[in-house]
Amino acid sequence: MRTIVVAMAMVLAGCGRRPAQPVEDTGGSGRNVSQMVLRELRGTRDGERLDVRATFADQGQSLQLILQFNVTPPARLATGTWMGLEGQGTVRQRAVTFLGGQNGPPSIGGRFELIGSDGRALYRVTIPVQPLRNAL
């Protein structure tokens, strides 16, 4: 019986969805972004506006996103820019989750595409939903 329980647990664990990589190269730049992690997430809410700065980095490269959200339901990205990885451009929302933080700091997370100067999506970034404990 114990063997069956262990085998079932292993099967179920294998069926779980793998967490998204924080930064993915979708434009074929050839850059190794597999080791990049979210180093800092800061933000300040002012009424319906939420300003956020996210910094991703690994040992030799960094990426910074400057995001402005309109949090009137449904929350959405109003504007966004990125710089790093030897490039810069605009940010496009794929999905956003906003929790208002009535009893604490607001929380934000989502998936975003980083668009290059030629209009192509170069990278996909995932920010896990988390509270913005540090103001800008």
Query: pTM, whole model, 2 decimals?
Result: 0.83
pLDDT > 70: percent of the chain: 85
Alpha carbon distances (Å) from 110 to 20, 30, 51, 55: 11, 24, 14, 14
Reported as a single tens digit per residue, the pLDDT across 34-80 is 999 999 999 999 999 999 999 999 999 999 999 999 999 999 999 99
Write the burial class of residue 4 (CB in 10 Å: 0-12 exposed, 13-18 middle, 19+ buried): exposed
Whether the predicted pLDDT of 1 surpasses 80: no
Whether the predicted pLDDT of 93 surpasses 90: yes
pLDDT value for 19: 58
Whether the predicted pLDDT of 5 surpasses 80: no
Question: Cα(111)–Cα(73) distance, rounded to whole angstroms?
Answer: 18
Encoded tokens for 103: 């009893």
